[in-house]
Amino acid sequence: MALLQVDDLQTRFISRDLDNQVRVAKAINGVGFSLGRGEVLGLVGETGAGKSLTAQSMIGLLRPPAKVVDGLVEFDGRDLLSMDPGALNALRGNEIALVVQNPLTSLDPLTRIGDQLIRVHRAHRKVSVAQARERAIDMMAAVGIPAPERRMRAWPHELSGGMAQRVLIAMALINEPKLLIADEPTTGLDVTVQAQILDLLRDMVRRMDMAAIVITHDLGVVAHYCDRMAVMFAGAIVESGPVDSVFAGPAHPYTQALISATPERLALGSGAIVGGPPPDLYALPEGCHYRGRCPHAAEVCGSAPPDREIGAGQVARCHFAGNLPAAFQ
């Protein structure tokens, strides 16, 4: 059975405008996927597509006016959406860990990093300070921080971006979570440091037999560090499947456009660039939400496209999925 099962997740921003009319932004529109232990899922899509919001909706981190209005999130046999906030809080940082961008702003600037690690560990485990300390030092060593015992005393501002990200990963993994969610874990880091961090994450996921969701804009990260991928557009997953199959034969026109727009595949001067504004979440069009930008849009696209099975585990939400010309060689 899957460790994590998400079905038809729906998240709305509900507000009132100046005339006191209720306005509803449909930010997440029926996201569904499942994830097993040892599996790494890459979540991609343009800015505003709803990647972070999907993660926040799942683990109870939404702030008003955002609200999950429908769907199911089942983690290790428990229904997260109906869980009370206290229980969910006990789960986060323990069985479910989150690593976000901007490591420096996610660390407490007034606490030495060793003490932060100890605090996180003791919040969820009945251990002595000495035991927690030992565990913290082990974790710092495991994430490749040199001289961990000495570094326990460091302040967050004394760390480089790469070191701070390692500390955050140590903190996320100190309680051996079953699920790790990494939201742009390497954005803003240097390429060579990025590689170190990604190697580290992959090793830890394997070693601890965790499941992981990696949210990223970098298709290179997905290609080389993820097993499966899900492509989001306007709050929905428009295509998902094994990384190899999706890259070899993207079936949704948006996935095709996305992969074709990577500089490595771009042919400047070919005029083949497909872009455009995202649809208005307050007034999503009927039918396919990609319709306004899609080069293949036809009359039938005015009705909601089905999830079409393309091949083993590859699914695309498009009327023509599987029947479109190949996007590239």
Partner 1 sequence: MTEREAAPQVSAAAAPEPAVEPVLAAENLVKHFPADNGQVVHAVNGVSFSIRPGEVLGMVGESGSGKSTVGRMVLRLLKPTSGTVRFRGRDISALPERECRPLRADMSIVFQDPWGALNPRMKVSALIGEPLKLHTPLSSAERRRRVEELADRVHLSTAFLDRYTADLSGGQLQRVCIARAIATNPKLVVLDEPTSSLDLSVRAGILELLAELRDETQVAMLFISHDLGTVRLISDRIVVLYLGSIVEYAAAQEVFERPAHPYTQALISAHLPPDPRARLTRHVLEGEIPSPIDLPEGCPFAARCPVVQPRCGQEVPQMVPVGDDGHRAACLRIPEGGNQIPR
Ligand X SMILES: Nc1ncnc2c1ncn2[C@@H]1O[C@H](COP(=O)(O)OP(=O)(O)OP(=O)(O)O)[C@@H](O)[C@H]1O
Region 286-325 residues binding partner 1, contact defined as CB under 8 A: none
Residue 65 contact, options partner 1, ligand SF4, ligand X, none, Cβ 5-8 Å cut-off depending on partner type: ligand X
241-245, Cβ contacts within 8 angstroms, sequence gap of 24 or more: 241/310, 241/311, 241/313, 241/314, 241/315, 242/312, 242/313, 242/314, 243/42, 245/310, 245/311, 245/312, 245/313, 245/314
Q: What is the number of other CB atoms lying within 10 angstroms of the CB of residue 288?
A: 28
**Interacting stretch for partner 1, rule CB under 8 A, among 54-62, 134-142, 254-262, 282-290?**
254-262
> At 147, phi and psi to the nearest 5?
45, 60
Residue 324 binds to ligand X (criterion: CB under 6 A): no
Q: What is the number of other CB atoms lying within 10 angstroms of the CB of residue 280?
A: 12
Place of tokens 């993820």: 226
Residue 240 binds to Mg ion (criterion: CB under 5 A): no
Instruction: Give 58 or 316: the residue with its C-beta nearer to ligand SF4.
Output: 316
Q: Which of 38, 161, 285, 287 binds partner 1 (CB under 8 A)?
A: 161
Residue 13 contact, options ligand X, ligand SF4, partner 1, none, Cβ 5-8 Å cut-off depending on partner type: ligand X
SS3 287: coil
Residue 104, Ramachandran bin (φ over 0: left; ψ between -120 and 50: alpha; else beta): alpha
State how far the Cα of 99 lies from the Cα of 102, in Å rounded to an integer. Answer: 9
Region 91-130 residues binding partner 1, contact defined as CB under 8 A: none
Residue 266 contact, options Mg ion, ligand X, partner 1, none, Cβ 5-8 Å cut-off depending on partner type: partner 1
Residue 195 contact, options Mg ion, ligand SF4, partner 1, none, Cβ 5-8 Å cut-off depending on partner type: partner 1
Binding mask 37-66 for Mg ion (x = CB under 5 A): ---------------x--------------
Residue 27 binds to ligand X (criterion: CB under 6 A): yes
Residue 259 binds to partner 1 (criterion: CB under 8 A): yes
One-character DSSP codes across 248-279: HS--SHHHHHHHHTSTTT--TTS------PPP
DSSP code at position 306: P
**Nearest distance, CB of residue 218 and ligand X, angstroms:** 11
**Interacting stretch for partner 1, rule CB under 8 A, among 92-100, 124-132, 267-275, 319-327?**
267-275
**Nearest distance, CB of residue 324 and ligand X, angstroms:** 25
- On whether the CB atoms of residues 302 and 249 are closer than 8 A, the answer is no
* Helix ranges restricted to H, 145-228: 148-151, 161-173, 191-208, 219-225
State how far the Cα of 212 lies from the Cα of 98, in Å rounded to an integer. Answer: 10
Q: Which of 10, 52, 175, 256 binds ligand X (CB under 6 A)?
A: 52
Residue 305 contact, options Mg ion, ligand SF4, ligand X, none, Cβ 5-8 Å cut-off depending on partner type: ligand SF4
Residue 135 contact, options ligand SF4, Mg ion, partner 1, none, Cβ 5-8 Å cut-off depending on partner type: none
Residue ranges that bind ligand X, judged by CB under 6 A: 13, 25, 27, 45, 47-53, 65, 281
Residue ranges that bind Mg ion, judged by CB under 5 A: 52
